[in-house]
Every structure is written in C-alpha cells, then in structure tokens.
Amino acid sequence: MPAQTDERERMGAPTVPGERMGRRSIVRTPARERTAMRREVGFTLIELMIVVAVVAILAMIALPMYTEQTRKGKRAEAAQALGDMQLRQESWRADHPTYGVLNDLTGSAANTTAYNNGLKHYTVSVSGNTGTGYTLTATRKGEMASDPKCGNFTMTMVAGVVTKGVSTGDADYCWRK
C-alpha cells in the first residue's frame, strides 16, 4: 500500500481519506501558514494619485505666496535706496541753495554708476530738483521689471512734505515693510 500512496500523491490524488479527487492537496506547514497570513505591503494606485493631487493643490497655493514674499523682500531695496537718497538730499541742501542731482549726491558720475550697479533690482534717479523740492525714482530692473503689483517707486518732496508713491499699484501696499 505505501507504493500506491506515493503514486497517488504524485498524480494529485487525495492523500487524506475524505478529500476529493482532482484538486492537488496542499500540505499545511508552519512556513506556508506564515506566508499565507502575510499582507501585501505597498500603496495602491489610487492612494498614490490622491497624494499627487494633494501635493499639486498645495503647490498651487504655496508657489504664488512664496513668489510674492520674495518680491516684497526685493521691493525693500527700493525703499532703502530712496531713503538713503533722501538723507543725502537733505545733507546736500544744508550747504547749497537747491537740492542736488544724483551725481552731486554720490560725488561723481562714476560713483552714480557704481551706486546703481550695486542695486540688484532697481536704479535710482533724481528729477525736479529745485530749492523747495525734488523727486526720487527707483526704476525696476531685471526680474522685478515684470512685478505685477508694484511699479516704479517714487518719493516726492515739495515744501517739506514727502509723498511716497508707485507708478502702478497701491502705494500703501508697496511701501509696506
């Protein structure tokens, strides 16, 4: 009978009484039971698609906010440069009958060029200088030339009153620090 049992096992016949013929019997061993109980690990395609969608939505919100914050930092250069020129104008006016042109304020044409080259995002100019007033302008250059919210910064002094403005946009928003 043992030879018959070996041949039956090889043919896929049941080895245990009561098992059906035609199905291969699976011998349950502890190793096979551990494998059968293991859960597949990893992510489904739908889970990955949801994560990609959430990241895309966050990027759509965060990128414009980040860009605007970097522009605000670059606009600070215009406010600083115009404030510096305002102090130079007052210092010049203390010793002269009129406010000075840019070359007077920096010392020479070469210094004016060096001053403006030292500014990364704006170029400063002086216009309308008289004995009672002047206009300082910070003109955008480089990547700030396409700033959609704030145009060129201006600082106008007339009879002791200083007015801050921008060529396009809201002056209060643009001059805010």
CB atoms inside a 10 Å sphere around CB 49: 11
At 107 the three-state DSSP class reads: coil
Q: Quick check: is 70 in a domain?
A: no
Q: How high is the pLDDT of residue 77?
A: 92
Indicate left, alpha or beta for 44 from its phi (over 0: left) and psi (-120 to 50: alpha): beta
Distance between CA atoms of residues 12 and 21, nearest Å: 8
Q: Which domain holds residue 163?
A: 76-175
What is the residue whose two structure tokens read 């906010």?
65
Q: Quick check: is 154 in a domain?
A: yes
Q: How many domains does the chain have?
A: 1
Q: Model confidence over 98-114: pLDDT tens digits?
A: 999 999 999 999 999 99
How far is CA 25 from its chain centroid? 63
Tokens read off for 163: 């007015």
Q: What is the pTM of this model?
A: 0.66
Q: How high is the pLDDT of residue 2?
A: 55
CATH number of residue 154's parent domain:
3.30.700
Which residues in the chain come in under a pLDDT of 50?
none
